[in-house]
Structure 1
């Protein structure tokens, strides 16, 4: 939870005396180095890759929600803009610069968290161990989902979490920490409205633990609320299309994309989260006094669990904040548990093993990705820097492939999900034919945008997904699309994913 720099200074003194001591700061640096090496091995995330394209297009003059179709609020893309701008300035790949900036953000978040807790009794109890654990949860645990909005939202929230813990402990909070906490909490909530549960549960728990309702109206909460309102007003002023074009589409179509509740409850993420919470409760049951830090962090985890279930997709990155905070609370409860009694020592040993196994399993869960290397290599053979168009709702087919090949993404959107959501909802009985007919204008608008993009910038490669859908038959039955596709020849079919190239390409 904190960066115990004081311990590192002690290590420095020991080194000057002829010995060397591993300090929490050394361990945090080692964790960062391990995580940086992982970035060179793991594939780049599909959505982050798309957002880099969005930022590049915006810098080139295209308008978000008009020339670029995206369902997320502007905050989702603006956080990647600095990486793209800096990459252009120093002539490096945006992926490398973006990852570097994220690591700097994590380091800054941990440093600000330590600074907020520097006068707290928490630092003396488990600060160093918790700092190392927090670093691992923020840098290594995300795995394939590194850089996703949920990941960044939790990174930014950490200094605010420290202030909520201080409020719960009835400890003083520095004015600078109040300002930073308000800014961090607002940024987290501005990523997605669902994240208000994570922030709100922390505030409510802090007030309940402190037995002081005034905590609900602490200055950082007013600052956060004001910044959220200002952000909303800025969207209205600068991105009115988000409310006139995107919100109705999200409300009527995108929210149909939900997994069954039972399926979400049975995901590995839910099980891992429950295990982490049980570890916290088991450790708390042996303590004479409630640990405010573990309680507030666990409340934040519960709030993000509500966000996970409300979104209803069951996707891995949606679960990251709840799992990471659950493991953070469990790690804190173990580190601060003490060794006074033999029974407690055995409980701690068992809890450490469970938390370690949970971390390993969570890494496997968050590393889930779809291997599209065969498709990418086939497209690479067609020619350098290809212009690519995809007929599919599966974004993972085209991203990050197009960036890996230094190609151009022809479509205005990441994937053609509108038609696919309506088709699947009708097929599984989620909607009836009358509702499908009411949603037909959204599907028609997506088709019109696809054809306009096709004609404006004829692609070198067209990828058609017949793996789990019927995009090939749909295109063949459409007079305009089938006419456009006559200029293309089939190159390869890889497990139902058909690759076409323009016939006039040598």
Structure 2
């Protein structure tokens, strides 16, 4: 008698078609996809948040303490995801961005390989040796991200993919080997450790597996226990080693960042929602005459779960939507490439499917390649001073990052940008603020001002960029006696699209 959680029996590599690998041509095309992805990393600018988190990791390696010397809005997992790559780059003496890019491409390859190996464990998913789907999946996880490449959502989606394959097999009551359970559990745990919002897709998939397998015990499958244990370990470790996250950072985030929402039109009416809708409709139309299999249902449910998490974050930002769009496109590719169909398909259907896939992919690429335009600031700053220490007075993070890394400068502030003042402004504009809340917000503004002055005195910047286009930071600096005094030794070099560039006098 065997348990539904028992390990899969060993199979001979040559015993069935399910164990066969991809043909040489799909493997070659996958290589081309990765080559294109590598090329894009040379021309697509480094993501703003990724650039900042590299700075965070460098400072941590220098002995600075997260949430005390470095103020980061996210839990520690955001920094620790990049720390190994930054540490390795320091050992090799290379730019960390190249190591991070390589790390993500290797993770993408490993994730897809793990999914492939897991799905081959079941005869029901054996046809997934389909070359077209493999090439499509490779493009979705490496080329589609564009400017959000290496964002936390990109990493979280990649670590979650093996769990999707396990959930599909678990729903069909298929036995799984320990290595598959371990990879799925660890991957799901890492994903959930990034953001609590990612609990939604995981919960939907686990519930589906329990319902379809007709066993409540699936809720407590080993991979779920591993994921839960990992999340608990990360949470407890954060409380023990980084108490300032709970005492300083989270109250700030709760009372400012989490207190307001972007307009509904921004959250729901965007290209991410369009790509998601096209993908889901395509799946329904492609499979309307067939009973959907477990893999398709799990993938579609995961995409819906990531959509819920995207909408719950209430920002409508491109990088928040990547898991939703990427997993939806994977489901779309599975349905339209004929990966699970043994019956021959008409030429007309193949052309229509390829067209829909291409259109949706392009919509996604354009959406994920949107950047904040800050003008030719880099060209204006580059060459003014080698290895310049830079401070930016602005609530817009894209002004300073990746600028400071592009010019091989030094970031002065303990923050990515002066986000507290920006979030306080939005909180006051978009929510009702009573007297007690208003006083608390003023305390937060005073704290950020204190940090700014301390950072300015600790490491006087060579260049100060003052953003007069967004919220008139120049007027704010002039109105503050101490900040104005700190800026007296600086001379205006030039203004670029509303951004004043000040250089410290020799």
The TM tier, using the shorter chain, reads over 0.9
CA distance in 1, matches of 2:351, 2:221: 38
Of 172, 176, 183, the residue aligned with 1:180 is 183
Q: 2:486 aligns with which of 484, 487, 501?
A: 484
Aligned to 2:68: 66
- For 2:151, the equivalent position in structure 1 comes to 148
Unaligned runs of 5+ residues in structure 1 are: 12-21
Report the counterpart of residue 458 of structure 1 in structure 2.
460
The answer as to whether partners of 2:389 and 2:410 remain within 8 angstroms in 1 is yes
> Is 2:174 the partner of 1:160?
no
Pairwise CA RMSD: 1.8
Alignment of 1:320 with 2:334, yes or no, is no
Give the Cα separation in 2 of the matches to 1:73 and 1:313.
18
Residues 348, 436 of structure 1: CA spacing in aligned structure 2 closer, same or farther, 3 A cutoff?
A: farther
Q: Is 1:130 aligned with 2:133?
A: yes
Question: What residue in structure 1 maps to residue 285 of structure 2?
Answer: 282
Match of 2:227 in 1: 224
Quote the residue 1:418 is aligned against: 420
Which of 52, 56, 59 is matched with 1:57 structurally?
A: 59
Q: Which moved more, 1:102-111 or 1:385-394?
A: 102-111
Q: How far is the alpha carbon of 1:133 from its aligned partner?
A: 1.5
**Distance in 1 (alpha carbons) for counterparts of 2:335 and 2:191:** 25
> Residue in 2 aligned with 1:267?
270
Q: Which residue of 2 aligns with 1:199?
A: 202
How far residue 161 of structure 1 moved from its aligned partner, in angstroms, is 1.0
Per mean C-alpha deviation after superposition, the further-off stretch among 472-481 and 364-373 is: 364-373
1:127, distance to aligned residue in structure 2 (A): 3.8
Aligned residue in 2 for 1:497: 499
Would the alpha carbon gap of residues 184 and 428 (structure 1) be closer, same or farther in structure 2, given more than 3 Å must change? closer
1:247 to 224, 247, 250: 250
Q: Which residue of 2 aligns with 1:330?
A: 332
Structure 1 partner of 2:304: 302
Relative distance call for 1:433 and 1:5 in structure 2 (3 A) is farther
- Asked if the contact 2:20–2:129 (Cα under 8 Å) also holds between the matched residues in 1, the reply is no
Q: Distance in 1 between matches of 2:396 and 2:320?
A: 17
Equivalent residues in 2 for 1:62-101 (5 A)?
A: 62-101=64-103
CA-CA distance at 1:356 after TM superposition? 1.5
> How has the CA–CA distance of structure 1 residues 370 and 116 changed in structure 2, closer, same or farther, with 3 Å as cutoff?
same
Give the drift of 1:415: 0.4
What residue ranges of structure 2 are gaps of 5+ in the alignment?
1-17
**How much has 1:367 moved relative to structure 2?**
0.5
Matched, 1:6 2:20: yes
Using the TM superposition, give the Cα deviation of residue 258 of structure 1 relative to its aligned residue in structure 2, in angstroms.
2.2
Q: For 1:393 and 1:446, locate their aligned partners in 2 and report how far apart those are by CA, in whole Å.
A: 12
User: Match for residue 368 of structure 1?
Assistant: 370
Is the 8 Å Cα contact of residues 460 and 501 (structure 1) preserved in structure 2? yes
Runs ≥4 residues deviating over 6 A: none
* Offset from partner CA, 1:62-121 (integer Å, 9 cap, x none): 000000000111111111111111111111111111111111111111111122122223
SS at match of 1:390: strand
Structure 1 counterpart of 2:11: none
**Structure 1 residues 211 and 128, CA gap change in structure 2 (3 angstroms):** farther
CA-CA distance at 1:434 after TM superposition: 5.5
- How many equivalent pairs are there? 487
- 1:392-413 per-position Cα deviation (integer Å, ceiling 9, x unaligned): 0100000000011111100000
